[in-house]
Amino acid sequence: MVKWNFDAPGGVRDFRDPTNWHAAMAAEASGIVLDLVATVLGKDPADVTEAEISANAPNLGYIDPVATPPETDGETVAVSPWGAFPRAVRRRGPWTEFPPVDGDREGIHRAAEDLGEEDHPEGVFVDGENKVLHLPVRHRQDEYLEWVARRSKEGKINKVAFVAEGYDYYATLFKYDEGRALDLYRDFTGDNSIRVDDLRARKGIYRRLPDGSRQTVVDPGDFNPRNRFNIEPGIVHLSHRANSLGAEVNLAGVSAILRLKADGTTLVDGRNSEELLCCCQGGNPNRNSDPLISDQAYAQVMGGFRYTLANPVGLYIAGVDDQRVQTKNGDALTPDWWTVVRGEGFGDPKSCRVLRLELAPPKGSNLTLEDLEVDGEPVRFAGQLADLLQVHLFVTRWKRNDGDNHGPSVPCLGTCCRKTGTQQLVPTRRTCGAGYDLAFPGLIGSPRVGTNLTAALAMKALR
């Protein structure tokens, strides 16, 4: 048996007691198994017993490696990388609120760098005293990578920082070592005036919905992932609600069970990753990341493997498509344009675990980043540079030792509607509204068309 310990992402050493991070990730892993067993049994997770977990967990495609230590080390592989620029933003273009300009004819780069609250349901943020809070973040950078540009006094882009660190990592670190979290904030923003309480949601954060109900976002006294210092003057970690390590673990886990179409016998084969995600209802099918993560996890089960997210669990910058970028003089970028601030393995796509990467002209250069060209177009927006990056994660897998068994299979949870005349998909478990067409017939029993799918639901699903 191989004893499993969850290390911090990217080889960083932030925790004084590394077992604190291990405990957090072990809880995520056991939670996935609980949810999968509940899915198999058709029960609410709260009603699943320990005996049912023990009886069903050995047959799942996903392994909780702490509860079930693997027989061998297994094989660790990187899943296929996905593009870091948000596909959902491209699918919604052209953006009428951002008129055409050089370098951004459809407004997608300005839309991607806009700040706001679209990553949460319609409503407003309030504190525990019902005071309205304004907490805008990079609400459209949803591919597990976010970026911030820094400009010279003349307004030219002279540096871009890219990060792939989940905000929940910082929330856990803050829980056990507020001082270390503060140090990282000061280092990455250059602002030594930041205090611990600036990072804390002292009265909590809640999302007040149009019906008057409230959803808890942050409990009173806990880390505030939407604090203003992660937006200005710098970027420390991911801010979009969907860009968490927990979301990554959940998505990889929910895809660990074979799915059946509405006829009860036809297996969803996974060849169409969007169809698979619409069936599982595990994420946003308009993203680059979610369908691919789901597809890669599902492929392990289809291939006769059991798997878990590899240690250290993390979302990582996989590499840069440097063939698409050059200086205005036609010169390729030399390695000293790129600086790995956190993480390791840059340059090797099979092992790259970079958490923070910065792009800037080499020391002594008189160039700015606006002296670069991407795909032959002069750089005017940081999103053009973000489009060069890919993101990935790693899984560790083992061949099943129970013959041709691929584990349990369950019905699809839903399907998707496609906005007529576009590529935009809307997950649904029931209906397609006016202006939407059924994208994947046969996943669930005859969803009705043209009834009560509202525009608000559509926009929520597209985020």
By mean pLDDT, which of 69-83, 210-224, 255-269 is the weakest? Answer: 69-83
Contact 405, 415 (CB under 8 A): no
* Residue 456, pLDDT score: 35
Distance of CA 439 to the CA centre of its chain: 24
Across residues 225-251, what is the average pLDDT?
93
Q: How many residues does the chain have?
A: 463
In the chain, the percentage of residues whose pLDDT exceeds 70 is 96
Lowest mean pLDDT among 17-21, 45-49, 231-235, 345-349: 231-235
DSSP readout, 291-357?
HHHHHHHHHHHHTTEEEEEPSSP--EEEEE-GGGEEETTSPPPPGGGEEEEEEE-TT-TTT-EEEEE
Whether residue 33 is predicted with pLDDT greater than 70 in this model: the reply is yes
Range name among 64-73, 185-194, 432-441 with the lowest pLDDT average: 64-73
Whether the pLDDT of residue 457 is over 70: the answer is: no
- Whether 451 shows a pLDDT value over 70: the answer reads no
Domain edges within the chain: 415-462
At 426-445, the pLDDT tens digits run 999 988 989 999 999 999 98
**Closest among 238, 207, 209 to 139, alpha carbons compared:** 238
Peptide bond into 94 cis (omega under 30): yes
Cα(201)–Cα(189) distance, integer angstroms:
19
Rounded CA-CA distance 318/279 in Å is: 28
Judged by DSSP in three states, 10 sits in: helix
Q: What are the tokens at 338?
A: 């790129």
Burial 196-229 (b: 16+ CB within 10 A, else e): eeebbbebbbbbbeeeeeeeebbeeebbbbbbeb
CA dihedral 10→12→18→22, nearest 10 degrees, is: -20
Whole-number average pLDDT of the chain? 93
183 vs 164: CA distance, rounded Å:
19
CA distance 128 to 362: 48
The pLDDT of residue 345 is above 70: yes
Which of 247, 246, 248, 231 lies closest to 161, judged by CA? 231
pLDDT of 72 reads 78
- State yes or no: pLDDT of 283 exceeds 50: yes
291 and 252 Cβ atoms separated by less than 8 Å:
no
DSSP result, 390-405 = EEE-EEEEEE-SSTT-
The model's pLDDT over 104-142, given as tens digits with 9 standing for 90+, comes to 999 999 999 999 999 999 999 999 999 999 999 999 999
Does residue 170 surpass a pLDDT of 90? yes
Once rounded to an integer, what is the mean pLDDT over residues 370-393? Answer: 97
Q: Please check whether residue 258 is in contact with residue 239, taking contact to mean a CB–CB distance below 8 angstroms.
A: no
Split at pLDDT 50, 70, 90, the class of 253 is: confident
Q: Do strands 132-133 and 124-126 pair parallel, antiparallel, or not at all (unpaired)?
A: antiparallel
- Global pTM value: 0.93
Express each pLDDT in 72-93 by its tens digit.
778 999 999 999 999 999 999 9
Check pLDDT > 80 for residue 278. Answer: yes
Q: What's the pLDDT at 234?
A: 84
pLDDT for res 18: 96
Lowest-confidence segment of 180-189, 216-225, 283-292, 425-434 by average pLDDT: 425-434
For the residues 325-345, what does the mean pLDDT come to?
95
Selected residue with higher pLDDT from 53 and 445: 53
Place of tokens 């939670």: 31
